[in-house]
Structure 1
Amino acid sequence: MSEQISVEEFTKVESIFVRHRNVLAVRAQFTPIYTDHYLHLMQQKIRHSGELDQMLKDTLAMLTLHAVARPWAETIAWTINLRAPRVNIFASASSLEENIVGRLFTEGVREPDRNFFYAQTISEKLPEPRMSTLEVDDRDPLHWVEQYYTQSEQRPARAFRLDDEVFVLIVAQPDFDEEWFAGLDVEAVARLEKDEETKVLETRKFRFNCGCNLDKILPVLGGWREKPEELFEGADQITIQCPRCAASYLVTRDML
């Protein structure tokens, strides 16, 4: 019997079309994803500073909303390389599998001369991954996403934090109401369905899940089979981290 997962374990993501304004509002309450994120950190004995943790959580929220705003069957990865604090923020979302995962890299991070945002989109409809790079000028993931849409999606978007861990991404469609769009604030977005004519186009269910395991991690070490001493450096076992979620796996020599 397959594993049964209750709806409450997912974050419900709604795609809402705002009639007459010609925008798509993608909205979700992220407590379920954040809860699983914290459980994962606790299991792996990982602790982040409050500032870095919030930046990672905001990035997870924004990428989830962006993945739903995009066409189906895409896998999207974002990496943000910041000078201060010196950190790499990584997040990946699969709209096909409806999952989101992410982590921080705080050790051995090269200090760039500027802050950079890298995006990669993979789809069967694309002959090769689509890559985008932009310079970001602050430490707010919501602003990064707005900059990304302007430069790479070539249409404007607005990102909002509401109460109770609710986030909303408003994406402009052709012939959108530019004056109304520019004047949006948190209060107007919170009242959107009361003040505007809207229609829910679809509802998706996302969860925090990497899917990594030792069987998936070991093939990455295949190149070390002929030179195990360089990998183990005299030890009988080493610990390998998943590059997507930072989960730790114990690897022994005979596993290679």
Structure 2
Amino acid sequence: MSEPVPVEEFTRIESIFVRHRNVLAVRGQMTPIYTDYYLHLMQHGLRHPEELDTMLKDLLAGLTLHLVARPWAETIAWTANLRAPRVNFFVTGGSIGENITGRLFTEEIREPDRDLFYSQTTTQGGGEPRTSTLQVDGRDPLHWIEQYYTQSEQRPARLFRLPDETFVLVAAQPDFDEEWFEALTPEIIAALESTEETKLLETRRFRFHCGCDLQKILPILGSWRDRPDELFEGAEAIRVQCPRCAARYTVTRDMM
């Protein structure tokens, strides 16, 4: 039986209702998630350019907050496919597993004719996944998420970066105070609980964790089982990556 994960390794996400403004504020300090993310990169010898690294971290933060704004039983995956630089961002997570993970794809990427953002939501218990696609602009992932809320969630939302790796998602509810919402700034958000009447609705917790291992990766290579020479090309072992988190695994011929 595996050891329980210490609570301090999780990021605590708070869901706060702002009375009279009719908005939901979802807040989290992302340092525990970012720490595990960097430990993951070190473990697997991965390193990203600074700009792309920051953008991926913003998407991890944004999806974590979005998951808490949504029902517990959902697993959500976001992909952003950009033209320049030609890169795919992928993040996914779920509240039941209390996990968030993600990676970059920078090789062998089909160049789109525009920057696209894809969302897929799967609900525990079955049913067809809900998908949506939208064109995004700029290089700020938080802006992409705001665009996603307007088009796919059909309600406005705003995201804010605060000091100390804290992020806040403010999502409009019916009859929200539109003028106040549009005038929000990071300074107003930082002082929210001292200037507004608020109620803590719930807390959830998340960590950066994929859960992949070699036994879960091997089935991905199943179509090569009858063609090992094509797969290994004369080598005794190859390196494969997890499609969710880019963890690297060594696969030998006898494993096939």
TM above 0.5, one fold?
yes
Task: Quote the Cα distance in structure 1 between the aligned partners of 2:108 and 2:245.
Answer: 17
Partner of 1:182 in structure 2? 182
| AA matched with 2:129 | P
| AA matched with 1:57 | K
Partner of 1:19 in structure 2? 19
Partner of 2:139 in structure 1? 139
Q: Say whether the 8 Å CA contact 2:27–2:65 is kept in structure 1.
A: yes
Partner of 2:169 in structure 1? 169
How far residue 126 of structure 1 moved from its aligned partner, in angstroms, is 6.2
Partner of 2:240 in structure 1? 240
Mapped pair 1:104 → 2:107: no
Deviations 1:180-209 (A, max 9, x none): 111111111111101000011111110000
Task: Quote the Cα distance in structure 2 between the aligned partners of 1:92 and 1:124.
Answer: 15
For structure 1, which runs of at least 5 residues remain unmatched after alignment? Answer: none
Partner of 1:92 in structure 2? 92
| AA matched with 1:254 | D
Q: Say whether the 8 Å CA contact 2:72–2:94 is kept in structure 1.
A: no
Counting only pairs closer than 5 Å after superposition, residues 1-256 of structure 1 correspond to structure 2 as 2-124=2-124, 127-256=127-256
Larger CA deviation: 193-202 vs 227-236 = 227-236
Larger CA deviation: 168-177 vs 116-125 = 116-125
| AA matched with 2:165 | E
How far residue 4 of structure 1 moved from its aligned partner, in angstroms, is 2.7
Task: Quote the Cα distance in structure 1 between the aligned partners of 2:125 and 2:152.
Answer: 18
Task: Quote the Cα distance in structure 1 between the aligned partners of 2:86 and 2:10.
Answer: 32
How far residue 8 of structure 1 moved from its aligned partner, in angstroms, is 1.4
Deviations 1:61-116 (A, max 9, x none): 00000011011111100010111111100000111101000111111122212100
**Root-mean-square deviation (CA), in Å?**
1.1
Q: Say whether the 8 Å CA contact 2:238–2:251 is kept in structure 1.
A: yes
Q: Which runs of 4+ in 1 moved over 6 A?
A: none
Compared CA separation, residues 4 and 127, structure 1 to 2 (3 A):
closer
Task: Quote the Cα distance in structure 1 between the aligned partners of 2:6 and 2:214.
Answer: 27
Task: Quote the Cα distance in structure 2 between the aligned partners of 1:168 and 1:225.
Answer: 47
How far residue 53 of structure 1 moved from its aligned partner, in angstroms, is 0.5
Q: Say whether the 8 Å CA contact 2:75–2:124 is kept in structure 1.
A: no
Task: Quote the Cα distance in structure 2 between the aligned partners of 1:248 and 1:50.
Answer: 21
